[in-house]
Amino acid sequence: MTQATVRKLLYELFINRENSDGYARLFERAVIAVIILNLIALFFETIPIIYQTREVYFHLFDIVSVGFFTLEYLLRLYVAPEDPEFKGRFSRLRFIRSPFAIIDLLAILPFYLAAFFNIDLRALRALRLLRLFKLLRAFYPALLEFLAINRHKTLRQKIYAICNETPDSGKLHEIFDFFIVSWVLISVTAVILESVDSINYYLHVEFIILDTIAVAIFSTELIMRLYSCVENPAYQHWLSGRLKFARQPSSVIDILAIAPFFLESLIDHLFDLRFLRVFRLLRLMKLGRYSDATKSLFLVIQREWPVMKAAIFIMLMLVMLAACLGYLFEHEAQPDKFENIPQSIYWAVITLASVGYGDISPVTPAGRAITIVLALLGIGIFAIPAAILSSAFSDQLRIERETMKQELYEMLGDGKISPEERSIIDAEAKRLHLSKAEVDRLLEKARVELGLTPHTEHHDSHGSHSHHDSHRHHNHLDLNYLSKHPEAAGEQFKILVAQLQQLAISVDQERLARYLSDTKHATEFQKETWEYIVRHSKKNS
């Protein structure tokens, strides 16, 4: 294997993002992950109690990170002649002078300077922050793509495309979502750790800084969404549309995520609002916007709500009945535990739910008998809502996949899948958690059921699809293709049998039978097959 072949192979495997069979996207994600871990390490290095007791581990992590970034830099330098951006004479020199290569070099330079020169280079450690700029390698192309797609759009339309997934959003929308999700997780983690006194004692100032940054980010996001929501036809009016958008559950969650910070800052001198800090955990609910499973669950609950209401009513009725009986039988024996009916409701709920903490338990024979009955009933009654949700959720996924299948049929109506239609299919497949193989299988099945094969999709001299050719080859069978795809062959067989049954019903059977009886026109096997189809069709009719 020649050097050029190895170089091209490495470029295709790790650098070329257009190669779907390579690992370029995975390699890029690994680089981003290491950069983020470096930023976290830099943050913790500023905390003496953490850094001073674990300095060796921080140093080892820095060595591993520099080694990884060095390999990345050398790999990009080596394959530069294969990169269209630098291809030609002095390709590697042009790569070294490129902005991204300079950033990559400066990100690792402080480590090597400190290793080979006996001078105090602690000030150069700050240059490790340049590793943050390595993220521009993923962000900058997405920004250029977004600006190119939306060059004729208004600022409000661009902001809407960033905040919401649209045909014009591009990769920048995914980066925006990733950024918000990351800060949600960082913020929630900080809130949880803040509740530990031993951690809060040393990191109190850092927690305040993190919370301030998080609130600034979430506030900016909310303003962007409120400003651009009128681009959605459902919220078109400049005032009432925005008010309607602000009342949506996702918007209410966004407001509640930042409200404790502003309330505590503005009126803390009037009231003790420290209890509001726990509501910062509501930021975790912001992730519901980025989870298609959550959206499907809300649809399921909305669709099955009448049945859910009936199940909840039965549960409440049973709880109240059990609480009253428990109070009746146990009040005299245990007046401190079954003091009143509300306290008995607590006992009834934990018994029906099969939790049984043991803090309240009956001692009378009648009370224990009631407990046995409640425990047995609770197994079934409390399982009803879970069973309803489980079944409805499965139905919802099936309905959505059937809807996608129908959309595939409509897209294949002209015999081809355009790039725009393919992007819609990929987005829908991602939402429904379908793999590429499953999508290809659905497309293949749709083509077969529509009577299309790979040879059906013809293009004219200008590269466009010929609709005439599509109809001309509509019933053409590619035996080579079907022989390699048994499922497709089975679907085609069913289509042909259905067509023969329709023919047997609509054609003049006597005339066709006389025609097929002549050995010049049909073989004995073809004649017998036709007679069997006719008999079978008469039975069904």
Q: What is the 3-state secondary structure (H, E, C) of 431-478?
A: HCCCCHHHHHHHHHHHHHHCCCCHHHCCECCCCCECHHHHHHCCCCCC
Q: What pLDDT, on a 0 to 100 scale, did the predictor assign at position 269?
A: 64
- CA 373 to chain centroid: 44
Is the model's pLDDT at 115 over the cut of 80? no
49 φ/ψ angles, rounded to the nearest 5 degrees: -65, -25
Q: What pLDDT, on a 0 to 100 scale, did the predictor assign at position 396?
A: 79
Please, are residues 214 and 187 in contact by the beta-carbon 8 Å criterion? yes
Q: Among 2.130.10.10, 1.20.120.350, 3.40.50.2300, 3.30.70.260, what is the CATH number of 150-290? A: 1.20.120.350
Please, are residues 28 and 134 in contact by the beta-carbon 8 Å criterion? no
Instruction: List residues bridging with 90 in a β-sheet.
Output: none
At how many degrees (to 10) do helices 383-411 and 365-381 cross?
A: 0
Please, are residues 322 and 336 in contact by the beta-carbon 8 Å criterion? no
Q: Residue 400, exposed/middle/buried by CB under 10 A (0-12, 13-18, 19+)?
A: middle
Centre a 10 Å sphere on the Cβ of residue 46 and count the other Cβ atoms it contains.
9
Please, are residues 252 and 289 in contact by the beta-carbon 8 Å criterion? no
Which residue did the predictor score with more confidence, 219 or 119?
A: 219
Q: What pLDDT, on a 0 to 100 scale, did the predictor assign at position 65?
A: 92
Q: Does the pTM exceed 0.85?
A: no
Q: What does CATH list as the number for 305-381?
A: 1.10.287.70
Taking residues 460-477, what's their average pLDDT? 41
81 φ/ψ angles, rounded to the nearest 5 degrees: -60, -20
Q: What pLDDT, on a 0 to 100 scale, did the predictor assign at position 466?
A: 42
Q: Which SS3 state, helix, strand or coil, does residue 334 take?
A: coil
Taking residues 258-279, what's their average pLDDT? 76
What does the domain layout of the chain look like in residue ranges? 1-135, 150-290, 305-381, 388-458+466-482
What whole-number percentage of the chain has pLDDT above 70? 87
Same fold? 1-135, 150-290: yes
Long-range CB pairs of 110-115 (<8 Å, 24+ gap) are 111/62, 111/63, 111/66, 112/66
Structure confidence at residue 510 as a pLDDT band (50, 70, 90): confident
In angstroms, the CA 195 to CA 254 distance is 22
Q: Give the single-character DSSP code of 279.
A: G
In angstroms, the CA 464 to CA 467 distance is 9
In angstroms, the CA 410 to CA 371 distance is 58
What is the pLDDT of the chain when averaged over all its residues?
Answer: 82
The class of domain 1-135 in CATH terms is: mainly alpha
Closest CA to 10 of 66, 80, 57: 80
